[in-house]
Amino acid sequence: RTRATWSSCVRACAREHSRGASGAHARVCARACLCARVCVCARTCVRTAEAAHAMPSGALSSVLAPWVRYTRHFANGGTPVLGGEQAALAAADAAEEARSAERDGGVLAHDFTRRQAEAQAWRNWDKFYRANEDRFFKDRHYFGEEAPELLGACARAFARGEAVEPRLLECGCGAGNTVYPLLELAAELHPGLPLRVSAFDFAPRAVALVRAKAAAHADGAVDAFVCDLAAGDVGDALPRRVGVGACHAATLVFVLSALAPESMPGAVRAVGACLAPGACVLVRDYAAGDLAEARLAGKGGGDSGSSRKLGERFYRRGDGTRAYFFEEAELVRLFEEHAGLRLVRSAVQARNIENRRMELTMRRRWVQAVFERPRR
């Protein structure tokens, strides 16, 4: 959805409108308005098209206005308020979108595409962080309310003399949006706690960003390194790097969804091997039925060469990164069976997030679970 796409749609609409073909350009209007939702240059494009076709100022805007309302209603799950020919064409357009999503959502990508997505997983995320650095994700300041057990487990280990320096394992650290809010929270809730963090990611650029921030902490609280949870030797490499049973808490925040389902058991076992008795683990990831899943399922050309679907509830985004959408019971079973952890609590959280600038309401769903390593 770029300015070029929006501009081309508007030009086509203006061309048809200047010819008097009101019905012929209706679908072009709808497609153009979909682009308009994400194009801050929409008004400029409309004025340019009006001038190019010698149309009165505002003439094209008045034609597009009902379709803007239609696409906004449709995106919010509402009922379009249109009349006559527009209503009929809108209904046909919506039906075609539904058929396209149903058709494309069931087509698996080629084996070659799936293998390529696996081989280039770290590279695609590395490109992502090179382009966005630490500007894309917001810092996560909800751990005090969502999972107080995380830092509580570290504080108990320190108080009992089980660890001189309690350690937290941050899996898939990204640009540090979890690491540093946790350190700030630890300083606030547990003053004097000598918390240390082992943070890793399989994107070298992400690790470099965390290390750059770590340089500001003279106490050396953060040890950031590159590690791939999907690697075949991760079951030995990760515990060897941080120590078997050396961690008193761990976080996996939107991490497992970036892995292929067949890699998840090995990744979870590797994390479990690093946990000390009584350790706490927070897992937060995409849930089945999330808005992103519906969008990804509806993209692609309807054949295996262009499908975004890599497997059941497993998709490839436009930038090559991948996303898996979990069922709650599936995630719980994964950690109980492969890491030997005990479930403390789990829930699927749903929230409507409003984008006021675009006048959209996005239905987001994620699953969150807290586990602990039983004391023998």
Q: Rounded to whole angstroms, how far apart are CA atoms 314 and 324?
A: 4
The 3-state DSSP class for residue 91 equals helix
Beta partners for residue 372, in sequence order: 280, 342
Residue 310 lies in a domain: yes
Q: Return the exposure string of 232-252: e unless at least 16 CB atoms fall within 10 Å of the residue's CB, then b.
A: eebbeebbeebeeebbbbbbb
pLDDT of residue 19: 61
pLDDT of residue 66: 52
Higher local confidence (pLDDT), 21 or 244 = 244
- Mean pLDDT, residues 243-250: 96
Residue 8 lies in a domain: no
The lowest-confidence range among 103-112, 114-123, 341-350 is 103-112
Q: Which of 100-104, 108-112, 325-329 has the highest mean pLDDT?
A: 325-329
- Mean pLDDT, residues 334-357: 91
Range of the domain at 277: 125-373
Q: Does 268 have pLDDT greater than 80?
A: yes
Q: Rounded to whole angstroms, how far apart are CA atoms 183 and 194?
A: 10
Residue 132 lies in a domain: yes
- The total domain count for the chain is 1
CATH number at residue 231: 3.40.50.150
pLDDT of residue 213: 87
What DSSP letter does each residue of 307-355 carry, written as one string?
Answer: --EEETTEEE-TTS-EEE-B-HHHHHHHHHHHH--EEEEEEEEEEEEEE
Residue 141 lies in a domain: yes
For residue 357, what pLDDT band results from cuts at 50, 70 and 90? confident
Contact present, 102 and 144 (Cβ < 8 Å): no
Percentage, residues of the chain above pLDDT 90: 54
Range list of β-strands (E), the chain: 167-171, 196-201, 222-226, 247-253, 275-286, 309-311, 314-316, 322-324, 342-355, 360-372
Residue 3 lies in a domain: no
pLDDT tens-digit series, residues 55-90: 666 666 555 655 554 444 444 444 444 445 555 555
Say if residue 295 is exposed, middle or buried (CB neighbours under 10 Å; 0-12, 13-18, 19+).
Answer: middle
Q: Does 37 have pLDDT greater than 50?
A: no
Residue 55 lies in a domain: no
pLDDT of residue 182: 93
For residue 337, what pLDDT band results from cuts at 50, 70 and 90? very high
- Mean pLDDT, residues 309-338: 95
Q: Does 34 have pLDDT greater than 90?
A: no
Q: Does 201 have pLDDT greater than 50?
A: yes
Contact present, 258 and 267 (Cβ < 8 Å): no
Q: Does 179 have pLDDT greater than 60?
A: yes
Q: Which of 25-29, 134-138, 301-305 has the highest mean pLDDT?
A: 134-138
Q: Record the tokens describing residue 283, joined without a space.
A: 């897992």
Residue 69 lies in a domain: no
Q: What is the 3-state secondary structure (H, E, C) of 256-312?
A: HHHCCHHHHHHHHHHHHHCEEEEEEEEEEEEECCCHHHHHHHCCCCCCCCCCCEEEC
pLDDT of residue 38: 40
Q: Record the tokens describing residue 273, joined without a space.
A: 């091997």
CA separation, residue 41 to residues 10, 13, 56, 248 (Å): 12, 17, 20, 51
Residue 90 lies in a domain: no
The lowest-confidence range among 27-31, 204-208, 320-324 is 27-31
